[in-house]
Amino acid sequence: MMRILLFLATNVAVLIVASIVLSLLGIDNYTGQSNTELLVICAVFGFTGSFISLFMSKWMAKKSTGTQVIDQPRTHNEQWLINTVQRLANDAGIGMPEVGIFPAYEANAFATGWNRNNSLVAVSQGLLERFSPEEVEAVLAHEIGHVANGDMVTLTLIQGVVNTFVMFFARIFGNFVDKAILKNEDGPGIGYFVATIFAQLVLGILASIIVMWFSRRREFRADEAGARLAGTGAMISALRRLQVESGQVESQMPDSMAAFGISSGFKQGVASLLMSHPPLEQRIAALQQRS
């Protein structure tokens, strides 16, 4: 699947660098001159962060999970994996993704890449060992669904928009604090920079809630694609197996990669707003209603 904690982490880093650059170049002074100019500049930096995340996604996913790409199948299982992904990709109308396996006991899988014809699909060793071939195929179909639906590009554009407004409104707030509250008329002072950083952190959290909401919507669509490609029964069976294992196997996926997987941890209360995936029971119910 295509998602986001890793994506968001890269964006945060880029936004921090962008903020420093804006300050060093004196561009922050635009808050007192032209909000239109500031908005355009924030859009440039905001979308740059998103697209850097997108283009680095495959490399970062491989490095953070230890994924080994199958260049030449060495076993029957690896050959079956390549053949299954090839068939699903053909059925979905996308280019053949890179296929890999990452060393984790938990059952998980992810897909990423900057476009439909240059992607990566990877599964955990634990999933291959414990899931039936039909369930593995359904998981792969879910990941192919993310690629075919263009989820990474969609989320990149959404992230670019929220990045833009986070940077823009943070500077508007900083300017208000500096001039209206602290009565500083000599250009941006320490109050401006402190208030801007504070607002950017708060708005960044709110922006992440928006991105995660879209991410959860895309999960339902990927499940539907998986059901079309591999069968509704197989997709439901795979999700049920994930549901059983979720309380028995501790996740070995790096926190920054959790949003890429077919399954992520369960959270309650306000923390649930930052979940990249809907609860598995909701996903199963949606497929049952569809069938």
d(CA 276, CA 61): 16
Report CA-CA distances (Å) from 128 to 103, 137, 178, 205, 281: 11, 10, 57, 36, 23
Tell me which residues are annotated as active site: 143
* Backbone dihedral angles phi then psi of residue 262, each to the nearest 5 degrees: -75, -20
Task: Please list the residues that pair with 123 across neighbouring strands.
Answer: 101, 109
d(CA 280, CA 149): 20
d(CA 192, CA 210): 26
Answer yes or no: are the C-beta atoms of 88 and 229 closer than 8 Å.
Answer: yes
Output the CA torsion 209→211→215→217 (10° steps): 80
